[in-house]
Amino acid sequence: MTVFDSGFGSSIGYGQTLPPDWPGGFWFHWGVFVVIILVFVLAMVMGFIYLERRGIGRFQVRLGPNRVGPFGVLQPVADALKVLIKEDITPAKGDKLVHWLAPVVAFVPVVMIFAVVPFQGGALLADLNIGILYVVAISSVTTVGIFMAGWGSNNKYSLLGAMRQVASVVSYEIPVVLSIIGVVLLAGSLSLSQIVLAQDIPFILLQPLGFLLFFIGGCAEINRTPFDLMEADSEIVAGFHTEYSGMKFALFYLVEYAEALAISAIITTLFLGGWRGPVLPPFLWFLIKVLAVFFLIFWVRSTIPRIRVDQLMAFAWKCLLPLALINLLITGIEVLVLPEALPWTIIFLNLAIMAVLIALWSKLFRLGGGRVEV
């Protein structure tokens, strides 16, 4: 049930809801959606790689990929073929089993996230009533694979990059989860489908600070610039995947973009109304919103330089965590005290609160300048 009802949600068409066992029978439903998820993830990752390389090329006043296929659209295919035929090298003194399993352990949980992501009404593998809790739990397993890569490589640079990833996930997971709780309070459910249905007004308007915290924390967790200290080439070569080549390196590369896709899909579901929207088919609305979020992710990457590792940790604990707690407190008060009939008042109030808090925190807390050795 939606806490804040805009009063015009029923006038918007959201497309036909699929039956729970579509296209018929439990196992057939399971098999069809497994194939759909795998094809969707792989196709979107290849599209993301092309869009990001072309987009960043424009941001940096260059062309980007433009040789393989029209406008360079086949460049991801060429890259995939290249890594398939490259030699697979395993460190002689590394733990060969751990080294081999690491990319698999990192990749599988990312794909499993999409089991509960609704592409439209009823179009998902499993509509869990604790869907967002499942996402938080399963996404953390990827960190185990990255730590395995650092440990199994018997390389100090790899291990240092892996430990940075563990520290980053532990630090940024807390404000991310706290920002999710604000959404759960408004929707009254942990089910991703119910959260989408509760958004007669997209929660990005009711939870602007929550969206900002989730976006920043998510980018840090998935190792996106400016938080990519886990593979900082100027400090630790290539971080946790320094000793990887061939198909195993390609899996880690795939994990990075699959995580970006997962974050984009979760933000779309939690804050942008999921598949809901007028005129266009529901799945198309979902796809447009996912692409818009990914554009924002690589826009940030092409604009902001990498921060130091001490700044990475300080930003999580000194800035994001207090803001997440304040946002949760304000959301709880609004849900309990303010009337349901005034959603637009809440929108402007929360935007003002976000602006004041960001301005205040930017003055009170400095991440420090100068040289810091960590």
pLDDT digit string (tens) for the chain, length 374 residues: 444 444 333 333 445 576 666 777 777 878 888 899 999 999 999 889 888 888 888 888 888 888 888 888 888 888 888 888 888 777 778 788 888 888 899 899 999 999 999 988 777 878 888 889 999 999 888 888 888 888 888 888 888 888 888 888 888 999 999 999 999 999 988 999 999 999 888 999 999 999 999 999 998 888 887 887 776 666 666 678 788 888 888 888 888 889 999 999 999 999 999 898 888 888 899 999 999 999 999 888 888 888 887 888 888 888 899 999 999 999 998 888 876 656 778 888 889 999 999 888 888 877 655 555 44
Query: CA 10, CA 181: separation in Å to the nearest integer?
Result: 26
How far, in Å, CA of 225 to CA of 256, rounded? Answer: 12
What pLDDT is attached to residue 10? Answer: 37
d(C-alpha 139, C-alpha 310), whole Å: 24
pTM summary value: 0.88
Residue that is written with structure tokens 């997209």 in the block: 202
Short-list 253, 254, 231, CA closest to 158? 231
pLDDT the model gives residue 235:
64
What pLDDT score does 233 carry?
61
Asked if 268 and 286 touch (Cβ cutoff 8 Å), the reply is yes
Q: Of how many residues is the chain composed?
A: 374
